Amino acid sequence: MRIFRHDKVAAGDRGAVVALGNFDGVHLGHQRVIGEAGALARRLGAPHAVLTFEPHPRSVFRPQDPPFRLTPFRVKSRRIEALGVDLLFTLHFDRDFARRSAEDFIDSVLVRGLGARHVVAGYDFVFGHERRGTSALLAERGAVLGFGVDVVGRVDAADGAVYSSTRIREHLLGGRPREAAALLGRFWEIDGRVERGDQRGRTIGFPTANIFLQDYLRPAPGVYAVRAGLVAGGKTRWLDAVANFGNRPTFGGSDLRLEVHLFDFAGDLYGRHLRVALIDHLRPETKFSGIEALKAQIAEDAARTRALLSAVPAFQE
């Protein structure tokens, strides 16, 4: 997949079938939109493209909000590439861009910039100044300017749950990673470089890899059963692990971080890239009376995690 950070492309990349959206999370509803664009691209013999926006518009209009991203750009692009997309157009979103009319976005970006042959969007996708652009406007302008438009209707899970980034965030904030996974189509991950922490874990027999969340949504604090993926050479080796997300109240910590204890692993992880998939929330973060009480609880958490993860199929990626 080739990534473009502009809306001007060479002749060979024009004429794509373009899926439009923010696609934070790349959940099952998003995958339906992107997948329909891909199916049509194959039928037409056209490139399969996605057009999205960075930073997320919410961070531009509501910069005071806590971090909320399910998939920062690098992770989002990896998920989109896994869906067989050929071209990813990522347009810089700021207040100047937001002031562009919906008609101007269609004319200058989709038509003159990309030469889109067909556009696919979700039923609730809106764009342009004051969010006045709708699927109806896309269809109307497409008929005049010569590109096709497909609108994907609302996609619900078998139990009636809506595939929604907002709903996924609510599940993660509520300590319900399995419910979030049902809407994502996979377990939600946090990834990043392993940083040096306080190095207390190794002194009590449970060394941890520390990851700072940066732009990621902060899930419910507490202890999680996780799978930890060691990334090397474009491949990921998954290991069972237990993790704590919080500020370490037993030691008077103040900053939020994810501390991951990998089972049956020995080695230096500093500077390594680690993917951490949240499987189950075991308990809230707790302040213990002392080190021995903490060690006993971690041992219990580890044993419970091993039992839980024994029933989770091995990850294939």
pLDDT tens per residue, the chain (317 residues)?
Answer: 999 998 888 888 999 999 999 999 999 999 999 999 999 999 999 999 999 999 999 999 999 999 999 999 999 999 999 999 999 999 999 999 999 999 999 999 999 999 999 999 999 999 999 999 999 999 999 999 999 999 998 877 777 778 999 999 999 999 999 999 999 999 999 999 998 766 655 556 688 999 988 899 999 999 999 999 998 888 999 999 999 998 776 666 667 889 999 999 988 898 899 999 999 999 998 877 778 888 889 999 999 999 999 999 988 77
Distance CA 307, CA 311 (A): 7
Determine the Cα–Cα distance for residues 273 and 269; give it in Å rounded to an integer: 8
Contact between 223 and 283 under an 8 Å Cβ cutoff? The reply is: yes
Q: Which helix (H) or strand (E) holds 309?
A: helix 291-309
According to DSSP H, which parts of 150-204 are helical? 165-173, 177-184
Token duo for residue 290: 């002392």
User: b/e string for 33-51 if b means 16 or more Cβ within 10 A?
Assistant: bbbbbbebbeeeebbbbbb
Residue whose pair of structure tokens reads 């008929």 in the numeric block:
143
How are strands ordered across the β-sheet holding 48-54?
A: 2-4, 87-92, 48-54, 17-20, 118-122, 148-152
Residue whose entry in the numeric block shows the structure tokens 């419970």: 304
- Domains located in the chain, CATH noted: 2-152 (3.40.50.620), 187-309 (2.40.30.30)
Structure token pair of residue 24? 């934070």
